[in-house]
Every structure is written in C-alpha cells, then in structure tokens.
C-alpha cells in the first residue's frame, strides 16, 4: 500500500533493513530505501544487509544527497552454542572501531566459506564485537530456549536490545508476549524494528519473484515460502503506531543517536613502506622522477620537459597523489626487474611524470597531452592508471603484490554482476513458468528491449498477446529487476592496497577462483569513497612484443644495452606508416581487425597522432555518432575545417573539428551546450552506466536545447548524443588511445622490419588477436619469409627462428626462417614437446620413443601431424609405425635390449589433397598448397579472380571470386550487412553482403566454408570490396580434398579449414 510521504519528521529510526545487496532477498536498491526513509520523516535508517556491506556505499552517497542519517550495520543468522538452532541478530556500528569490528567479523564469517556463503557461531561474538550495538530478534522457539539464547548474547554484548518486529500475521500476539517476557526476564531494553525487505509494499511481487529465483521454483508453487503479506516495507509512522508502543519506537531514535559513525570518516591510508625514512612522499617522488628523467634524456632534460615536470609534480603534491604514483611505480619496477613488459594507460598515465617513472613509453615529445586534462582539481576524482602486463606473466605481478603487502592488506576490487535484460528475461520467465522457448526468443532479441515502443508489436509478431495479464506482469517484473545485483565477482585486475588491515576498511570475501579474495565494494564504491585502486591487467600483445624483442636480440646477437627494446625502436619510421597505409596489418595490435583494415587506407596514418585517432575512430562512439565520414572528408581535404566558435575550436582542433574522443564530447557538452562542470561530470558517469541503469535520457533534451540555443544545428546535436550513447558501450578516451597507439606503432615496426621474428612472437603468444596460426603463417609467407615444416628433429615446443639463406629485397636486414613449433600439434602436451626438443636429434623412431619417453599415443600425435616424416618416410606409414611402437616407456629404461621395430605393411604416399587435409586436421595450418590453389584448375573455380588480382580490377567491374570463409561478421553498428573475408592462395578478399542478397542466400552465407561470390568491385583508394550479388556454396569441394576416388564418400570435417 502506497502511503503519502510525510513532510515532518517522526520519532523513529529503522534499524533493520535489507537492500537488494542481500542478494535475491531484498527487493529495493539501497538508494530507494534511503530516499523513502527520508520521505517518511524517519530520523535515520540503518542498512543491514545479511553479512555484507556491499550496498552501504551506495546508501551512503544517497543519504548524503537527501540528508538523512545512515547507520552502518549488518544482519546475521548465528548458530547458538550447541549448534542446534540459530539466532537472528543485527549489529550496528556506532563508532569507527565498531565499524572495523563489524567489517572484520563479516570477513571472518565469509572467508571460511565458499563464495557467496557465510558461517558464524555465537562464539565468534564477544571481545571481537564489543563495540557494536546488537539487536536480537527472538525466533519461533520455546520461551525457555529463547531465554538461553538471550543470556548467551547478553554476556557478549554490553549493549543489547530485544527487537519486536510485527507483520500483521497470526503470530503477532505470541511474538509480542514472548518479547515482553524476555525483556522482563533478562532485563533487556525493547526496541521496534521491521526487518524491511523493500521500500514500498508494491515491491512484494518482485520480492516473491526473487525468492522464486533463489529457491529455483516457480512462483505459484512457493506457497508459504513467501511472506504472507507485504508488511516488510518502510511503513508510515501511523501504521507502526498501531502496532508498537510509542516508547519502543522512540527507543530506535535513542539507538540512532548513539551511532555517530559515518563512512566519511574512513580515511584511506596508503602503504607507508614506499617512502624511505626521513623523506616525505613528495620528496621521494621528485627524486625518482628526476632520476628517471636523466635516464630518458642522458644529454640533459629539455627545458620544456623540465617545466612540464615541475607543473605536474606541483599538481600531484597539491592533490596528495604521491603515494598513488609511487605504488604504481613500485609494481612497474618489479615487472621491469623480471623483464615483464608493461605499459600504463588511463587518465594520469600519459604524463611526463609517468614517462620518467617508466610507467609508460609514450614520450611527451611525441604527443602533447596535457596532464591537467586528465587529472583535474575540480573533478575531485582520483587519478586512474591501468597497467597492462604480458598476459602470460600477469600472475607473477599479482603474486608480487600479495607477497609484498600480504593478503591482509591487498585484495581485488569486486565487480557487481547485475541483472541485464537477457538474464532478467530468463530468470523471471522461469519464475512465472513462461514457455522456455518464448523466453529464449525474447532473450535473444535483445535489440527489442532498447526500443520499448515497438515491443508490443514485436510480441504480437511472434504470437504473444502483449496485453495478457501474465505478459504484463512479466514485462513489469523484468523492468524492475534489471540492474538488481545478483552476486559479486572479481574485478579483472583492480587492486586495493592499504596501510593497515584492509578488512577493517571493507569486508573481504572469497572469490570463485581459488586463493583469490575480493573486497565487498566495486569500482564505483571505491571512487565514491576516494579509495585508490590500481588496475593490473593482462594484454596478449605485450607478451608477443616481448617475445619478439627477445627473438630479434638473440637472433642478431645483440647483447646488454644493445638488445632491442620498445624505447630503442626508432620513432616515426616512414616505411612502417607506408605499410599501415596499405592495410598490411595482420598481427598488428588493434588495427588488424577487418573494420580497422578498411579504415587504414582511408585515414592513411603518417604520424603517431594519426595512430591515436585511428585507434579511437573505429569504435561504437564515433561510428554511432556518424563522425567517421565527416572526419575522413576533412582529412582528405574534401571539406573545409571550420569551427562554430573559438571555444569549440579549442576542444576539437586536434581532430579537425570532429569529436572523436570521449572527453571531447564531454567538453563539447560544456562549451557548446552550456553544461556546468558538475553536470558534465554527471553526464560522464551516467554514460558509463546507462546500458545497465539507463538515466541518460534526461541529458538528451538539455544537450539538444543547449546546442540549439548556441547556434549549433540540431542534427549535429543529435549525433553528439548518439555518440555519447556509443561511448557508453565502450568508452574510449584519448589517453587510452595514446597508450594503445604506441603498441600499434611498435608492433607495426616489428612487422615491417622483423617480420619473421614478429610472426614467431605472435604465434608463441596465442591465443590472442584476430588471426589463426594458419592465417598468420600464410601472411608471413606472402611477405617472403620461409616457413619450415614441423619436424621432431628440429622443432622446439615454440616456434623458432632458424638461419636462412634466402635473401629479401624488401628488408634492410637478413631475415630468419620460421620453424613451426610442436605447440601446433593437436593433442601434444607442452611437457612432452619440451622433452622431445631437449633430446634432439634422434636416430630413428625407437630412439625417439625411448629417449623422449613417448607413449604410443604421443607418437601418433606426432605422426599424423607430419612431424615424423624425416625419420619414418611418408605420413601414413609414420602413423602406422608409430602405432606399432607400443611398449611402455618404463620398459625401455629397465631393459636396454631393443627388439627393432619392423612391419610388413607398406602404406601408400598421401596425395597432395590428403596432405593438406591432414595438415589442417592435426596441425591447424599447412605449408603445402593452399586448398584454393589445388582447386584452381577446377571448372567451378577457373574463372575466379584471385584476391591479389583484385587490385588490377577497375571499379564497378563484375567479377567472380572464391575462397575459404575465414571471417563472418555482422557489426552491431550496421543494419543487416554481413562482411565476409575469403581467403585464397594470394591473400584475403573482403566481401560485402547487403540485406537483400543475404536474405536470398542466407544458408550459403551463414554456413558454408568455401564460397564462390559473383559481384561488383567497389573501390575507394586502396580499399577494395566485392559487393556480392550471387553466392554459391562450394564446401563439398573441401570434402573431396581427402578423397582418392571421387565415388568414395569420406568423413571430412570442413570446419578444420579455418
């Protein structure tokens, strides 16, 4: 029952109240509870989620906003001394010390149980919780038993109340009698509280739904497992007055008055050990920065850099962020000492200070980013540095952090997993017993949800009556539940490190992963509490780059300081940019995707900042805002670069008047639409969360009106708003783009000048990036690099570089040959592969089996992949032989008398087609002929152009092409278009399929492995597409590949060809 909010304050404070952070139990957001309590005139409200402080920060922020006292507490079900029954208590934190006790108690109760559970016995209470206030809610037990429980609590809490909670059930009388009796018997004070589960009674259906989801039962079978009525909401004083005596209502206010702890008083303290004794943090940071600067500029720090450093150091000192920079520096220094490549990014990373601390390699000379733009005094937000480490070695860094600061002081931030439309639909449908197929259809058509106006229509189109009562209920429940938290998960790498025990600051609990703990707050909470987190992330490209740098240095015999490093790669190399302009970018960080590849020849990057733009422009933000085309026009000089006024010029000058980066859009909201700094900041925060929580629409009108008022066209304003929405999906500020651009440049330089080593580095770091080993090796072969067969006598586990006689006109230095590694062999374990490599060479198959201790099965893995051809003749024979060497490895060692292997079977040589087929099946790549080369003389293929031939074709010409379908993509940002990549022996061709053609050839386009496409060539500079008109599925050809006789039908899994 909704009751009108009272305007005057009442003599009551709710002390027992669960939010939806008591997962699948509470049915209101903490913010809603706080707001409602304020509306009802309560003196205070305690948020007491069960064994959790997950929702407390959100409640705190809202309480500060609306102006109501928030009490921090938590509810527990505690096993009593004999373990037979449980006691229901609420603990409140009146002081900082009590808060620390509460947080530690939660940590203890949760750390001893698997993720999501807790266990507490009455013996955990007492000394450890003596500062807390306790409310006891007597359960449905005999009076004698309750009296015993009461006494147990009484000896442990000096401040204990018996709470009376009445819900208009038939137990009310009995409960009142029990509570009064206990209060008199034990001489305990009485207080009224309400075990609140929701802010208004209208949430009862949702609360029941959550119960159904929690218990995994349909709602209509829950029966008495639900509450019999909706009384567990924040009630009006009038309603409570009918239930409780005035004094016990007032008692709640007295308790609230005792509590003067506020989360504001939590002061984060940085780890102290980072600063040597006798120095201030500021002095220490300055010293480190100047040491680094002298290393960076051995011949003297340039004057403007010196000035920049001073300015930045002053800002850091002013905001007292020295410890943050020192902490990041410490972690990065560890990584560098272990030769783990890392790279910082984020708002503060692209500063001269970070460059001097070796947190980033983006030279301030190269890119003139203003540190102030990223760390601002006004915004009052902590600086943000994410550090990417080599993905294979990130764990070492994490262990270093745990080792240095101990698990008591370092933990991962939580990520809150909330209901998204898809999961909401699934769970609510199950609770309402909706047809699972219908729910499936709904869940899969997520786009429907975005467009609520059309939703009814869509439902009708799949035969569902949108006006039916069940569907109406379903829709309203789904809408309500979206955004509700479901559980905590671990953040990808956000560490919080503190000076004292972290558990006194925030509770810790176990993550699903073994030996991982997370704190109960997520990154929004940390930001609100101004706690600093450091993101320790894994990045595959860093692994590949580090491996490549080592390979090059070893191959070329570079020692000591001469070894190749990111810093020693020459900047602004024209040959590198030339390569990128041709979209020759397979394997290069970020710009290797199909979309990026078609952007490269249009944007024609020629300097580092062009790469920054290149990285940022192929993103949902600029694409949805329709900013890409205008930018290209201006860049190509086809449209004049103009600005509506000077303020706008200042924001957009570096991107030719077109907003590309996230922060440009925010600044534009200020200079072009009149947002205040505070509003712009709210816009930025809402942007990140709108997919989850909505809340962006209110800025729409303001933005458009503001821009119209200031003379900007409406169409532009709408596009800006679309762009803002796009950023919500994947925010991309300039600082991130700059850090990524550096890795683009480095990886592109390596590909241009050290192609063999770069490909080797990539292949040894898989899985990562877009391309399969087959695609990477074909690319490097097309670049003239020799690739050698996997060979049990010569291959390592990893790919290796071997000296090569081959000369290369394209490269300024000799290139090695790439030897395929045994990591490519299907089924083989790394341990086995390394053992084989360690004992090379071998005399024969017996010798191999004996010294490398190979099982029969391991030998067959080698044989069928073709690695035994050098010692056993053809591949079929090798496999037959390997299967025959069937003696356990132990026997070999015990008895050196070897009965040589022999066989009377002679199997024939595989055909070319069979070899290719076996290569793809058991090695994942072939160095033999590309299947398309084998088919080239077939009637169906003969007249097709090869991918390489397309450059010589004039635009609008009708052509046929054929190839293996290696990539099939339907970008979410385009409507109904599918992009295909067809691979043949000369390279990749890009095919565009428009909606009408797609509908006609749906099956072929979605399922075939080998396609022939008839279509029209479309050209824009070096970007060539074939726009499909007709499509034919030739996948059966692949099946025939392994056949020796055409009439034979064979098992061929054409999926192997990828």
Partner 1 sequence: MLWLCAHLPQMGLEMFHRSSAASRHQAAVVIDERKVHLMNSAAQEAGIGLGSSLATASSLVDDLACYKRDEQAEKEYLEKIIPIAYRLTPRVSVSLPYDLMLEVSGSVKLFGGLKPLVRLLERSLRRIGHKTFIGTAHAPCAARVLAHAEVATPLPNYPDASVVRENALKCLRETSLEHAELQPSDIERLFSMGIRSFGELIDLPRHELGQRFDKSLLEYLTRLLGSGFDPQKYASPVECFQSDVHLLEPAKDRLSLDDHMQQLALRLVHWLQSRQLGVLEATWTFKPYDDDGITVPVRFSHPQTRVPGILECSELALDAVELPSEVISISLEAPRVDSLLNAGPVEKDLLGTHQSRPALPGELLDRLTARLGVESWRLLRNVNDHRPEYAWSPVTTRAFERDSTSFPTPGHRPLWLFEPPMPVKRKNFELLKGPERIESGWWEGRFLRDYFVARHESGSLCWLFNDGEEWFQHGYFS
> Which residues lie near partner 1 (CB under 8 A)?
1, 167-173, 201, 204-205, 208, 219-221, 223-226, 228-231, 432, 444, 469-470, 473, 860, 864, 876, 879-880, 883-884, 886, 903-905, 907-908, 910, 914, 918, 921-922, 1002-1004, 1006-1007, 1042, 1044, 1048-1051
Q: How far is the CB of 226 from partner 1 (least distance, A)?
A: 7
> Taking the C-alpha atoms of 27, 33, 35 and 41 in order, what is their torsion angle to the nearest 10 degrees?
130
- 10 Å CB burial of residue 577 (0-12, 13-18, 19+) is buried
750: closest CA among 525, 621, 920, 568? 568
Q: Give 474 or 577: the residue with its C-beta nearer to partner 1.
A: 474
Distance, CA of 611 to CA of 741 (rounded, Å): 5
Distance, CA of 859 to CA of 595 (rounded, Å): 43
Q: How far is the CB of 904 from partner 1 (least distance, A)?
A: 6
Q: How far is the CB of 797 from partner 1 (least distance, A)?
A: 22
Phi, psi of 472 (to 5 degrees): -60, -45
CB 707 within 8 A of CB 716: yes
Q: Give 131 or 231: the residue with its C-beta nearer to partner 1.
A: 231
Q: Give 339 or 472: the residue with its C-beta nearer to partner 1.
A: 472
Q: Give 174 or 653: the residue with its C-beta nearer to partner 1.
A: 174
Q: How far is the CB of 774 from partner 1 (least distance, A)?
A: 19
Q: Please compute, for residue 318, the number of CA atoms within 13 A of its CA located in the half-sphere on the CB side.
A: 12
Q: Which residues contact 80 (CB under 8 A, 6 or more apart)?
A: 86, 87, 121, 122, 148, 149, 152
Q: Give 432 or 750: the residue with its C-beta nearer to partner 1.
A: 432
- 10 Å CB burial of residue 894 (0-12, 13-18, 19+) is exposed
Q: Give 168 or 567: the residue with its C-beta nearer to partner 1.
A: 168
Sheet with strand 517-522: strands edge to edge: 342-345, 386-390, 533-539, 485-497, 410-418, 517-522, 508-510
Q: How far is the CB of 14 from partner 1 (least distance, A)?
A: 19
CB 628 within 8 A of CB 613: no
191: closest CA among 15, 454, 369? 15
Produce one character per residue of 438-464: b if its CB has 16 or more CB atoms within 10 Å, e if not: bbebbbeeeebbeeeeebeebbeeeeb
957: closest CA among 1025, 1036, 902? 1025
CB 75 within 8 A of CB 45: no
CB 348 within 8 A of CB 383: yes
> Could you tell me what percentage of the chain is helix, strand and coil, using 3-state DSSP and rounding each to the nearest 5?
50, 15, 40
Q: Give 219 or 612: the residue with its C-beta nearer to partner 1.
A: 219
Name the β-bridge partners of 536: 387
Q: How far is the CB of 158 from partner 1 (least distance, A)?
A: 36
Q: Give 805 or 904: the residue with its C-beta nearer to partner 1.
A: 904
Q: How far is the CB of 876 from partner 1 (least distance, A)?
A: 4
CB 683 within 8 A of CB 697: no
Q: How far is the CB of 856 from partner 1 (least distance, A)?
A: 8
592-597-598 Cα angle (round to 5): 160
CB 857 within 8 A of CB 868: no
Q: Which residues contact 208 (CB under 8 A, 6 or more apart)?
A: 219, 222, 226
The residue assigned the tokens 């503190």 is 498
Q: How far is the CB of 499 from partner 1 (least distance, A)?
A: 51
Q: How far is the CB of 227 from partner 1 (least distance, A)?
A: 8
Alpha helices by DSSP H, 385-507:
394-409, 421-431, 436-444, 447-450, 455-461, 469-481
Q: How far is the CB of 224 from partner 1 (least distance, A)?
A: 5
Q: Give 220 or 996: the residue with its C-beta nearer to partner 1.
A: 220
Distance, CA of 664 to CA of 959 (rounded, Å): 43
Q: How far is the CB of 1006 from partner 1 (least distance, A)?
A: 6
Q: How far is the CB of 636 from partner 1 (least distance, A)?
A: 39
Distance, CA of 537 to CA of 346 (rounded, Å): 12
Q: How far is the CB of 1046 from partner 1 (least distance, A)?
A: 13
Q: How far is the CB of 1045 from partner 1 (least distance, A)?
A: 9
Alpha helices by DSSP H, 42-191:
56-66, 96-111, 143-154, 172-186
Q: How far is CA 108 from CA 101, 232, 496, 507, 564, in A?
A: 10, 29, 19, 9, 49
Q: Give 510 or 877: the residue with its C-beta nearer to partner 1.
A: 877
Q: Give 883 or 977: the residue with its C-beta nearer to partner 1.
A: 883
Enter the DSSP assignment of 154. Answer: H
Distance, CA of 881 to CA of 884 (rounded, Å): 5
Q: Give 473 or 959: the residue with its C-beta nearer to partner 1.
A: 473
Q: Give 170 or 453: the residue with its C-beta nearer to partner 1.
A: 170
Q: Give 428 or 537: the residue with its C-beta nearer to partner 1.
A: 428
Token pair recorded at residue 689: 């969360």
Q: Give 133 or 882: the residue with its C-beta nearer to partner 1.
A: 882
Q: Give 323 or 474: the residue with its C-beta nearer to partner 1.
A: 474
Q: How far is the CB of 1043 from partner 1 (least distance, A)?
A: 9
């Amino acid at each position: 029952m909704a009751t009108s909010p009272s305007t005057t304050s009442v003599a009551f404070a709710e002390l027992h109240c669960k939010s939806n952070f008591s997962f699948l139990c509470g049915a209101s957001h903490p913010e809603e509870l706080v707001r409602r309590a304020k509306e009802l005139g309560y003196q205070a409200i305690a948020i007491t989620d069960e064994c959790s402080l997950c929702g407390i920060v959100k409640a705190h922020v809202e309480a500060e906003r609306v102006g109501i006292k928030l009490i921090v507490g938590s509810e527990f079900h505690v096993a009593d001394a004999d373990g037979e029954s449980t006691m229901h208590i609420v603990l409140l934190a009146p002081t900082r010390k009590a808060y620390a006790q509460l947080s530690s108690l939660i940590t203890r109760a949760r750390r001893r149980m698997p993720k999501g559970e807790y266990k507490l016995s009455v013996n955990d209470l007492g000394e450890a919780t003596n500062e807390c206030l306790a409310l006891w809610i007597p359960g449905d037990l005999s009076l004698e038993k309750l009296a015993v429980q009461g006494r147990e609590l009484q000896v442990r809490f000096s401040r204990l109340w018996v709470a009376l909670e009445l819900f208009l059930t038939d137990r009310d009388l009995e409960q009142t009698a029990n509570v009064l009796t206990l209060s008199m018997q034990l001489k305990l004070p009485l207080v009224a509280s309400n075990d609140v589960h929701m802010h208004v009674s209208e949430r009862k259906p949702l609360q029941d739904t959550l119960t159904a989801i929690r218990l995994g039962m349909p709602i209509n079978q829950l029966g008495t497992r639900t509450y019999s009525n909706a009384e567990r909401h924040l009630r009006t004083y009038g309603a409570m007055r009918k239930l409780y005596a005035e004094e016990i209502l007032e008692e709640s206010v007295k308790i609230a008055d005792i509590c003067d702890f506020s989360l504001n008083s939590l002061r984060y303290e940085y780890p102290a050990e980072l600063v040597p004794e006798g120095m201030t943090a500021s002095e220490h940071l300055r010293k480190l920065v100047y040491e680094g600067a002298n290393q960076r500029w051995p011949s003297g720090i340039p004057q403007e850099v010196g000035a920049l450093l001073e300015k930045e150091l002053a800002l850091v000192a002013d905001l007292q962020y020295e410890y943050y920079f020192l902490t990041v520096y410490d972690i990065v220094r560890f990584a560098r000492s272990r030769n783990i490549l890392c790279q910082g990014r984020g708002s503060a990373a692209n500063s001269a200070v970070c460059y001097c601390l070796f947190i980033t390699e983006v030279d301030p000379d190269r890119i003139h980013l203003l540190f102030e733009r990223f760390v601002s005094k006004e915004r009052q937000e902590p600086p943000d540095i994410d550090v990417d480490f080599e993905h294979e070695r990130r764990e070492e860094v994490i262990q270093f952090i745990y080792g240095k600061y101990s698990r008591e002081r370092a933990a991962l931030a939580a990520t809150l997993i909330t209901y998204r439309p898809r999961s909401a639909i699934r769970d609510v449908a199950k609770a309402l017993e909706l047809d699972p197929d219908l729910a499936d259809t709904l869940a899969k058509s997520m786009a429907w949800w975005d467009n609520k106006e059309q939703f009814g229509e869509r439902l009708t189109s799949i035969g569902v009556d949108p006006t039916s009562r069940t569907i109406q209920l379903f829709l309203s429940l789904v809408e309500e539940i979206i955004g509700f938290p479901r559980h905590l998960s671990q953040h990808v790498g956000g560490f919080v490190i503190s000076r004292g025990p972290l558990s006194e600051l925030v509770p810790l609990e176990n993550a699903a992963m073994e030996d991982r703990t997370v704190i109960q707050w997520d990154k929004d909470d940390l930001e609100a509490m101004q706690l600093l987190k450091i993101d320790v992330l894994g990045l595959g490209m860093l692994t590949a780059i580090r491996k490549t740098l080592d390979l090059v240095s070893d191959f070329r015999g570079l020692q000591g300081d001469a070894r190749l490093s990111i810093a020693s790669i020459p900047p602004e190399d024209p040959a590198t940019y030339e390569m990128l302009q041709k979209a020759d970018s397979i394997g290069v960080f970020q710009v290797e995707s199909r979309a990026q590849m078609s952007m490269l020849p249009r944007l024609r990057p020629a300097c580092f900042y062009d790469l920054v733009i290149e990285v940022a422009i192929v993103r949902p933000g600029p694409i949805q805002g329709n900013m890409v085309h205008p930018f290209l026009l201006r860049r190509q000089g086809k449209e004049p670069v103009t600005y509506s006024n000077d303020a706008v010029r200042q924001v957009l000058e570096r991107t030719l008047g077109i907003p590309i980066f996230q922060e440009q859009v925010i600044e534009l909201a200020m200079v072009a639409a009149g947002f205040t700094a505070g509003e712009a900041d709210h816009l930025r925060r809402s942007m990140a969360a709108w997919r989850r929580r909505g809340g962006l629409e209110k800025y729409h009108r303001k933005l458009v009106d503001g821009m119209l008022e200031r003379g900007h066209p409406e169409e532009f304003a709408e596009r800006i708003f679309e762009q803002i929405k796009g950023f919500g999906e994947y925010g991309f500020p300039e600082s991130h783009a700059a850090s990524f651009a550096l890795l683009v440049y480095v990886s592109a330089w390596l590909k241009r000048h050290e192609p063999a080593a770069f490909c080797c580095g990539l292949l040894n770091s898989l899985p990562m990036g877009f391309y399969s080993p087959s695609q990477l090796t074909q690319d490097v072969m097309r670049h003239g690099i020799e690739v050698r067969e996997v060979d049990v006598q010569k291959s390592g586990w990893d790919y290796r570089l071997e000296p090569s006689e081959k000369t290369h006109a394209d490269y300024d230095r000799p290139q090695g040959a790439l030897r395929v590694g045994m990591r490519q062999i299907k089924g083989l374990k790394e341990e086995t592969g390394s053992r084989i490599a360690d004992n090379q060479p071998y005399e024969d198959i017996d010798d191999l089996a004996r010294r490398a201790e190979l099982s029969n099965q391991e030998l067959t893995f080698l044989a069928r992949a073709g690695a035994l051809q050098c010692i056993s003749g053809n591949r079929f024979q090798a496999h037959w032989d390997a299967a025959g060497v069937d003696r356990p490895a132990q026997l070999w060692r015990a008895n050196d008398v070897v009965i040589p292997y022999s066989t009377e079977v002679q199997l024939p040589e595989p055909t070319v087609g069979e070899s290719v087929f076996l290569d793809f099946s058991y090695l994942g790549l072939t160095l033999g002929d590309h299947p398309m080369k084998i088919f080239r003389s077939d009637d169906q293929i003969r007249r097709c152009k090869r991918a390489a031939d397309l450059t010589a074709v004039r635009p609008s010409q009708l052509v046929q092409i054929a190839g293996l379908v290696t990539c099939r993509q339907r970008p979410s940002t385009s409507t109904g278009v599918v992009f295909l990549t067809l691979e043949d022996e000369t390279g990749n061709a890009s095919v565009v399929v428009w909606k009408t053609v797609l509908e006609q050839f749906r099956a072929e386009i979605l399922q075939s492995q080998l396609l022939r496409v008839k279509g029209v060539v479309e050209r824009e500079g070096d970007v060539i597409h074939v726009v499909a008109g007709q499509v034919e599925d030739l996948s059966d050809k692949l099946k025939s590949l392994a056949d020796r006789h055409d009439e034979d039908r064979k098992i061929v899994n054409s999926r192997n060809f990828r």
